[in-house]
Amino acid sequence: MSKIKKALERLKSESQLKEIKEEKAERKEAISEKLEKIVYTKTKVIHVDPEKLKENKIVAIDEEDPLTDQFKVLRTRILNRTRAEGKKTIQVSGFGIDEGKSIIASNLAIAMAKETRQTTLLVDLDLRNPSIHKLFCLGDVKGLKDYFEKGVPLEELFINPGIPKFTILPAGGKIIGAPEILGSPKMETMVKELRERYPDRYIIFDTPGMNICPDPLIVSEYMDAILLVARVGVTDQDAIKSVMKIVPKEKLLGIVLNDFIWADEIMSYYKYRYKYYL
């Protein structure tokens, strides 16, 4: 093959590669524009004061808060572990109580919504002690309790708290007999419906601690991935060992260590921070 022919073929390959890259870039830009132009019609919109959210440690809404970058790092690690495999449902759970798993779930969901390629739904599946509606200052709103007990359609329960591309499905109150409800065909149908409703959506499920009740283990059957939250000074080694014996290892993304104190002087200005074992 002549040098001229080889050169022409190389130019042709480079041109084709350039066209493919441009096409991917245009497709990504189109998706981004579509996501940015989302207008909620059926979803209830409740504009919440950002200062009140920050008082509740919902910090990922503030680009100037140094902790926002920490949640973006966590987001990136999770996306790298899940996106290529099409995993979209992520369960966030703790080991016991008072570990901050709901705060981690909320900030992670917001950080994911800020990424250009998807929207995020945060579901409060802690049916024994729901807290997402409190963290987002939503007041007494309908939620999963109404879906399971009264048959209210899911589309009537979604709430946007004024944060772009981010939706909440509240618990709507405590539910008696949570294990039976979470293990029911209606629960399976709900997860399937949420998964199929929007293919570009990640769904974060906030669930109780693994050592508290059977609920999170039941829920894990429907999940693609699981993220655990431990807290310095609260979670002990026995609790961790107990959970590691029962959690589905093939679904475990890792552990977020809440209230970890960095020794590095660069990080010394953080009031509280997180470390990841992903």
Q: Is there a single domain that holds both residue 13 and residue 80?
A: no
Enter the tokens of residue 119.
């929207």
| pLDDT value of position 264 | 47
Structural domain boundaries enclosing 74: 42-277
The C-alpha atoms of residue 87 and residue 238 are separated, in whole angstroms, by 30
Q: Is there a single domain that holds both residue 22 and residue 50?
A: no
Instruction: Considering only residues 197 and 36, tell me which one the structure prediction assigns the higher pLDDT.
Output: 197
Window from 33-42, 200-209, 218-227 with minimum mean pLDDT: 33-42
Looking up residue 184, the CATH number of its domain turns out to be 3.40.50.300
Q: Is there a single domain that holds both residue 102 and residue 15?
A: no
Type of residue at 253? L
Q: Does residue 29 carry a pLDDT above 50? A: yes
The C-alpha atoms of residue 172 and residue 76 are separated, in whole angstroms, by 31
| pLDDT value of position 198 | 84
Q: Does residue 222 carry a pLDDT above 80? A: yes
The C-alpha atoms of residue 109 and residue 201 are separated, in whole angstroms, by 11
Question: From residue 104, how far is each of 113, 205, 259 by CA, in Å?
Answer: 14, 11, 11
- DSSP code at position 58: -
Please name the residue that has the structure tokens 């073929």: 9
Q: Does residue 245 carry a pLDDT above 50? A: yes
Q: Is there a single domain that holds both residue 30 and residue 63?
A: no
What average pLDDT score do residues 214-227 get? 96
- What is the tens place of the pLDDT at every residue in 138-156? 999 999 999 999 999 999 9
Instruction: Considering only residues 269 and 23, tell me which one the structure prediction assigns the higher pLDDT.
Output: 23
Q: Does residue 79 carry a pLDDT above 80? A: yes
Q: Is there a single domain that holds both residue 7 and residue 132?
A: no
- What is the tens place of the pLDDT at every residue in 86-101? 999 999 999 999 999 9
Q: Is there a single domain that holds both residue 7 and residue 125?
A: no
For 149, other C-beta atoms within 10 Å of its C-beta total: 13
* Sheet (strand 166-169) strand order: 44-45, 159-160, 166-169, 119-124, 201-206, 89-94, 225-231, 252-258, 274-277
Give how many domains the chain has, as a whole number: 2
Q: How does residue 1 score in pLDDT terms, banded at 50, 70 and 90? A: low
| pLDDT value of position 199 | 84
For 227, other C-beta atoms within 10 Å of its C-beta total: 24
- Alpha-carbon 268 to chain mean position: 27
The C-alpha atoms of residue 171 and residue 102 are separated, in whole angstroms, by 13
Q: Is there a single domain that holds both residue 10 and residue 70?
A: no
Q: Does residue 47 carry a pLDDT above 50? A: yes
**Cα–Cα–Cα angle for 253, 184, 122, rounded to 5 degrees:** 45
Q: Is there a single domain that holds both residue 121 and residue 48?
A: yes
Q: Is there a single domain that holds both residue 220 and residue 236?
A: yes
Q: Is there a single domain that holds both residue 10 and residue 74?
A: no
Q: How does residue 178 score in pLDDT terms, banded at 50, 70 and 90? A: very high
Query: Which regions of 170-224 does DSSP assign to beta strands (E)?
Result: 201-206
Each as own residue / partner, the long-range contacts of residues 28-35 (CB below 8 Å, 24 or more positions apart, any chain) are 28/116, 28/117, 31/116, 31/117, 31/200, 32/116, 32/117, 35/116, 35/117, 35/118, 35/119, 35/165, 35/200
| Mean per-residue pLDDT over the chain, rounded | 86
Q: Is there a single domain that holds both residue 159 and residue 22?
A: no
| pLDDT value of position 42 | 76
Name the pTM for this structure: 0.82
- DSSP code at position 176: T
What average pLDDT score do residues 33-51 get? 74
Q: Is there a single domain that holds both residue 61 and residue 30?
A: no
For 173, other C-beta atoms within 10 Å of its C-beta total: 16
